[in-house]
Structure 1
Amino acid sequence: MRVLIAGAGRLGTQIAQVLSAARNDVTLVEYDDDRVAELDGLNQVRLLTGDACDPGTLERAGALACDLVIATTGRDEDNLVIALLAKGRFGVARVAARVNDAENAWLFDERWGVDVAVPAATPLISLIEEATGATDTVALLRLSKAGVEVIETAITARSRAAGRTLGEIQLPAGTVVATVVRDGRPTVPGPGVRLLPGDELLLVSHEATEREIHAAFQ
């Protein structure tokens, strides 16, 4: 599947990493040169500097051949313009757009080219599954055939795990930490990694429930 993601903030970057790891062809568009430089070398993701609200930028990013466009910028007005261009000008089959302000949710519908409106608080896994329209697209995250689940949990200032190292956390049996995402970038989950508020963890388990995993960190 060819995917174009507009906005290389934490959310857009995470989606790009997951979908590219699931062997999709992913292009990530970001207008901030410094942010693009930070992400240089992002595995299996094509980076493009430019304003995704500009039709020329979308065309250079491959919108004409895209199966899915996901607008994840921090501005609702930008996400709506990107969605409208993707659907109306480039005929993209499926368009998902992030809703940053809940009061604007009523705008995110077919009139603006939005097939899937995603509230900002939607968990990463749920967002990707809904945006792609099929759970098998993200088999990396749902390994049901092997009896394995990947569960997401976020560290807040109130989390019991905040300030502790991974080595100090007693994980449920059959569970390992796959990655710690910090500031939009994955961190190698060694035992010495100290968890900070804002960190997002993806854990792989074939025995523990989501409640048990959250209890270990929250």
Structure 2
Amino acid sequence: MRVVFVGASATNVACARLLIKRRHEVIVIERDPKRIEELSQELDCGFILGDGTHPHILEETSPEAVDAMVCTTGVDQNNILASLVGQTLKVKRVFTTLENPEFEKVALALGLTEILVPVRTIGRYLADAIEGRDVLQLATLLKGDAYLFSVAVPAKWEGSVARLPLPAKDARLVWVYREEKLLFADPELELKEGDELVILARDSQVADAIRHSLL
């Protein structure tokens, strides 16, 4: 798998380090030459010096061969722009990291669906931990090839839950989040753009197919 990171943030570097250990090909795009020099001493991966929001820089990664691109530059607007460029260049999967949740609706309106909001995720994790909840309990329940993932609803899939292109034998819609409110996936539920779907799939390949069908 070839993975491109736009920005050499601490989060990207930690993820890159794990992927390299798992024998994946990693490329880091970074504007600061000193940062690249520093990281080249510890990461066995490719580096590109430049601005990841510029198409000619992303084209150096052979985007048609890139399986995933992660945009975590520290500036939400740059993350959104780099993600859009990645989609235009036909990168298979693009992950957009947003520090400010207010930009999430903007990203969704622009067609970006794999959006990460760390402050919200970490906040929920800490609140659960403080209340004494077992935050790893769900992970222990997923056995075998079971794969749980979330995806945002694009405008074209607004309407009845029954319209979702889910393979009946290989996936189920488990629940829906709408503005942080939990909604059960009842047949009469009407989906709205921006709803977060939580789907249980038979394996990661089924999950990838569903993600692409929702784009």
Q: TM-score, normalised by structure 2?
A: 0.53
Match of 1:108, SS state, is helix
Alpha carbons 1:21, 1:44 under 8 Å: kept: no
Between the aligned partners of 2:7 and 2:111, the Cα distance in structure 1 is 18
What is the letter of the counterpart of residue 117 of structure 1? I
- State how 1:116-195 maps to structure 2 within 5 Å: 116-121=114-119, 122=121
Question: 2:35 and 2:2 mapped to 1: Cα distance?
Answer: 23
Does the CA contact (< 8 Å) of 1:83 and 1:112 recur in 2? Answer: no
Give, in angstroms, the shift of residue 120 of structure 1. Answer: 2.5
Aligned to 1:33: 33
Q: Distance in 2 between matches of 1:79 and 1:31?
A: 14
Give the Å deviation of 1:103.
Answer: 1.4
1 CA distance for matches of 2:8 and 2:62? 17
State the Cα deviation string for residues 70-127 of structure 1 (Å, max 9, x = none).
1011111100111101112x11121101011111121222x4352310012346xx9x
- Structure with the higher helix share, 1 or 2: 2
The correspondence for 2:110, drawn from 109, 112, 116, is 112
What is residue 45 of structure 1 aligned with on the other side? 45
- Counterparts of residues 50-65 of structure 1 (less than 5 Å): 50-65=50-65
C-alpha offsets along residues 137-188 of structure 1, whole Å, 9 cap, x if unaligned? xxxxx9x99xxxxxxxxxxxxxxxxxxxxxxxxxxxxxxxxxxxxxxxxxxx
The aligned length equals 125
Describe the shift of the 1:41–1:62 C-alpha distance in structure 2 as closer, same or farther (beyond 3 A). Answer: farther
Amino acid across the alignment from 1:96? F
Contact 1:95-1:113 within 8 A present in 2 as well: no
Deviation at 1:41, TM superposition (A): 2.6
Distance 1:6 1:114 in 2: 16
Which SS does the other structure have where 1:42 is aligned?
coil
Give structure 2 stretches of 5+ with no counterpart: 126-139, 144-215
Question: Does structure 1 retain, via aligned residues, the 8 Å contact 2:64–2:92?
Answer: no
In structure 2, do the counterparts of structure 1 residues 47 and 113 end up closer, same or farther at CA, with 3 Å as the change threshold? farther
> Where does residue 99 of structure 1 map in the other structure?
98
* Aligned counterparts of 2:82 and 2:37: Cα–Cα separation in 1: 23
Q: Does the aligned pair in 2 maintain the 1:81–1:112 contact within 8 Å?
A: no
| CA–CA distance in structure 1, aligned partners of residues 45 and 17 of structure 2 | 7
